[in-house]
Every structure is written in structure tokens, then in C-alpha cells.
Structure 1
Amino acid sequence: MTSLSKRALVLGAAALALGGHAFAQGAADWPAAKPVTIVVGFSAGGPTDVVARIVAEQLSAKFKQSFVVDNKAGASGGVAANLVRQAAPDGYTLMFGSSSTLSIIPTLQKTAYDPLRDFTAIALVASYPYFLVAPASSSIKSLDELLKQGRAGGSQLSYGSAGNGAVNHLAGEWFKHEAKINAVHIPYKGDSAAVTDLVAGRLDFAFLAGSVALPQVKAGKMRVLASASAVAGRGGEGVPTLGERYKGFAAEPWNGLMGPKGVPEPIVARLNAAVNEIMARPDVLARLAPMEQYAFTGTPQQFTDHIKSQTERWASVIKASNIQVD
């Protein structure tokens, strides 16, 4: 090795050591230096954004520092993921990751980020079930009636989703396969357009989040046929749970707090403990309940394991249904 190469190697090692020392020092008084940004990969007002804002508000109060939500919508959360992937791992730039960003899109197409390699899993936060719904004006008034019509010779139902590759698209294909019904997928650019056509009776059914479906149900425009939760009893009294008919069936998007790869362990530990504490509080759970959102917490390792298991499950659904995204 030349003396120049040796000098470069020594300087590089010294820089790494100083950088590591700086992060260690920063971790000791984090988050005193400046506000913390939580990047959300979806538009304001959606299920992921609403929970992120509740968590940001509570973290601000706990740490006596501002936690600010920054919406960077696009590519099913991919725009936000790439921004956070490239951020300094100092705990001041975080991401409110989602099941679609971390377990579905990387399975459907090539992404610039790796959900496990490029991020630090910090804390699972919440999940919510999709509900199988039909227009209130439809002749389909129960799950059994939907199955009967979907299996009738020559019939073909239609269902809408937020777009190709969306969780409710995958849920619809999975349901078709398990229930053995004839149904064609109609993709939309977001749930709101699908809701408009569903309410008007131009679609037969859809899988929608409680925050989207329940106000329509309350207004008498939709009917809940079943819950796609892994837990029975969600969605109201008398609502069937699809997992009880079709073993393992569950379409429950989830979210969690992440950082760039290399966030110091003390910061990860403090954030994980804080999120777990926040999500166990009755007042926070009461704010989530009207949206059919539920606390879903654990350790950083459990978060990592959940990403892996969800990726495997959705990959099998994608393969079985031959789902492709252009």
C-alpha cells in the first residue's frame, strides 16, 4: 500500500470515528438540538397521516420538543422512503412507514430502497382492518348474498380499489380466490373516487378502511358485510369476520416509526418506549376508536419480524393472483 493510500485510510477511519462520536454525543441529549421531522408518504387526512399526527403531538408533549409531520406523497410512500433513506441517522428525520411501502410495493416492483437494509425499525404503532362493503341500494345485503351472487353461473361482480397494488386491491384478489367468486377489479386513483362509484351503485363491493367506510355507512349510503380483521368483533355487533371463514385471511394495513439506517440505539430505545406508552393510553385509544384504528406495538425486533412476515404473506397473494403493476 502506498503512503498516500495509507494516509487516506487513516483519515477515513478518523472521520468515521469522529462521526460516530458526534452521533453518540448527539444521542445523549436528543432531541434538544432541533425539531424532529416525521415524514409521511401519503396525503394529509388519510389513515396513516391521521395516526402520525396523533403520535407526533404526543411525542412533542413528552419530549418537550416539536415533532413535525411532513407529507411527501407519491409512489405509495416511496417518495418519503427515499428521502428518509438518505437522511442523517441522528434521530431528527423519521418516517411513518406503512404496510404498502414496506411489505407490498417492494414485492410488486423494483424500488430504490430496501425496507430492511436501508432503515432502522423503531416502533410499531397501529393497524386497522379493512371492511367489505356494498352500496346500501344493492340487492347484496349480507356476506352470504354476495357469495351467492358471485358464484352464480354467468355472473360477474365488480369491486373497486385505490389502485393497482393497493392493499385493498390485494385484499379483493385474495378474497376472490378464497371465496371462489367471479369479480373484476376496477382500479381508481385513490379511495375517494372508488367511494363515489360504490355509493352510486356502479360497483358491487370494495374493501375500505373504517375511516373511509363508516361515515358512509352512518349516512345510509353503504352497508358493512364483513370485517377483514384477524380479530373477531370489529366493525360492530353482528359483523362477520372473514378470517373465521377463510383461515388466515386478514387485510389490516399497519404503520410504524422508522429512521434511516444507523440511528443510535439509545434514541431507538427512548422512542420505542415512548410510542408504546402513548399507544397504551386510554385517551389516545379513544381518539383512534371512531376510525377503527387499534394500537399495534412491540419491540424494534418485532417490527422487523413483522415486515418480513407481511412481505412473505403478500408475496404469496401476489403470486397466486398473478398481480402485476405497470
Structure 2
Amino acid sequence: MDGWTLGIESTAHTLSFGLVDAEGTPYPAVSDTVKPDKGGIHPREAADHHKEIAQTLFQKLLSNYNLSPSDIHAVAYSQGPGLGPCLRVGAAIARGISSRLVVPLIGVNHCVAHIEIGRQQCGCNDPVLLYVSGGNTQVIAHLEGRYRVLGETLDIGIGNMLDKFARTQGIPFPGGPVIEKLAKEWLSQNPEPRLTDLELPFAVRGMDLAFSGVMTAAQRLLDNGAELGAVCWSLQEHAFAACVEVAERALSHTGKTELLLGGGVACNTRLREMCSLMADERESSSHAPPRMYCIDNGTMIGLLGFIELENGRVTPYEESAVDQYLRTDQTQVTWAV
């Protein structure tokens, strides 16, 4: 395919424009994220942010790579899942650019995009994906032309849980990185930690997960006088151990030997360490893409759009409506193993 593929990510708090060249090589995205002073993300406020910043971001992207709009030969966008108002802004931008430039439009599955950018960056062939983000926590593997969900959260995503817990402590969004920092600081002062008096509930439910009770119990520890850093450490250890356990079960059930991390929480160093330890013990391998490709980004959307277009799929305007409840396993995957 000639020219560049533009990717537009707008599923939640981030609006991002990314590029993939004619060879399928991804380039770093230009992004802007809503960071409320207090509370969580309000979908309509985030959508307003996306509308206000879109033109500036698009022009910055073109300027960064010395391109003109005519160099864009395809436009991909997140069709779902995500927050409805935010998705609709991204879709409207994509339709507008596609129509103005008279180039193909490709609506893609946000979750599948996380998988494909990870595979491309890490050189994985047929991995089990541990997808850990704000809105999703899933364990996924490819089977018979689709990425199948082998297990998932039954209540809230792990990233959402971490952010909610952080907000109860007055920590603004995003709270996950601050929890990681507090846990590291506490661990440096307590090099031989024990879970005594810091126990939290078991989050594994067969192949599924549940985090609400873990968050409530962590708050109770604080109410009973536990140190915040200690609780942050315990919260990470329990929540991540549950994710790693389900991922290990998935590797065992499927017979696969590669684990791939994706989603914003995959930026966490401790989670990466735990996955590597588990994989080494199984004579398998654990992989995580660069952090700029773990978080929501337009480049992964552009890459999946490039792949879909190479395999002959485009999105007619009449089928370009967003689906905020789109499932990972609803998308046909004709290019993977």
C-alpha cells in the first residue's frame, strides 16, 4: 500500500493521532489526555476536550513528520469499545478526514489494536495476551480466526480499581503510577516485606477476576491504621498476582509459550517482573511493548487499520457507527496464526 495510514484513538481520556508508513512501520503518536482536578473521567467533558484539541494535534503530527494531508492514504479509528461520546468524536474526525481526502476508512477494535502493536513490537508469534487497562482486564488467545477471551474481570478493570483507590486518598487521575511510586518507596524502606496484617481478598474466580472487594479491603486496612505505602504495595502484589495466575492458567490450557502484556497497567514495572518470573518458571517468555505503545495511542490504531486494509477490509460510511460495547472476540482475525 502506498502512503501513510493515520490512526485516531479516542476511546476514553486520551485523543491520539498516530502514523504507520507504507511498509507497516509504526511511528510515535501525538496525544493529549484529560486530567481532571478531582474525580474520574466524565465522558462528555472528555469528548469536549477531544473536539477542542483535535485540529492542533493533527497539525502537530503532520509537522513532526514533515507531511501534508495528501500523504495520508487511509484513515483508521477506534470503533469500540469505549466511552460513547469520546468514540463518536474520533469517528467523526476520521469520517471527515477520509471524506475530504477521498481515502479508505477503517474502523478497528481497540482491544485487538493493543494485541497487534504488541505482537509487532515484541516479535511474538502466537501469544496469550494479558490485557490490563482502565476499562478492561482480559486474558486472550487466538483460536479459529478470532482472539478469544479466556478470562476477564467480572466487575471493574484493574486500572479503574487502582485509580478509584487512589482517588479515595486524594491522588488525582491517573492514580496507578502514583500507587506504583508509593509502593516502591515503601519497599525501599522495608526490604523484607511480609503480608502479615496486609492481607487482601483472593481476586481469582476460576479463569475470571474480581477487583472491587480487593479495593474495599485495601481501604479498610487504611481505616485501621495501616501505612499508605504498605497498602499500595500489598494492593499491587495481590492484584498483579491474581492476573499472573490467570495468565499462567491460560498458557497451560492453550499450550502456548509466549505471554504478551498490553494496556496502560502493563507500564507497571512490578507487573512486568512478576510476569517474567512466571514465564521463566514455565520455560516460556514474557513480552511487553515500549510503554508509549502500552497506553492508548493512535499508532496502534493505525497499525491495525493498515493490517485490515492489507487484508481487504474497509468500513463503509453506513457501517461506521461506534459500538461502545464491542467485544474483543467479535472481530474476525484473518491474518494471525
Which structure's CA Rg is the greater one? Answer: 1
TM-score, normalising length from structure 2? 0.30
TM-score, normalising length from structure 1? 0.31
Which structure has more RCO (C-alpha within 8 Å, separation ≥ 6)? 2
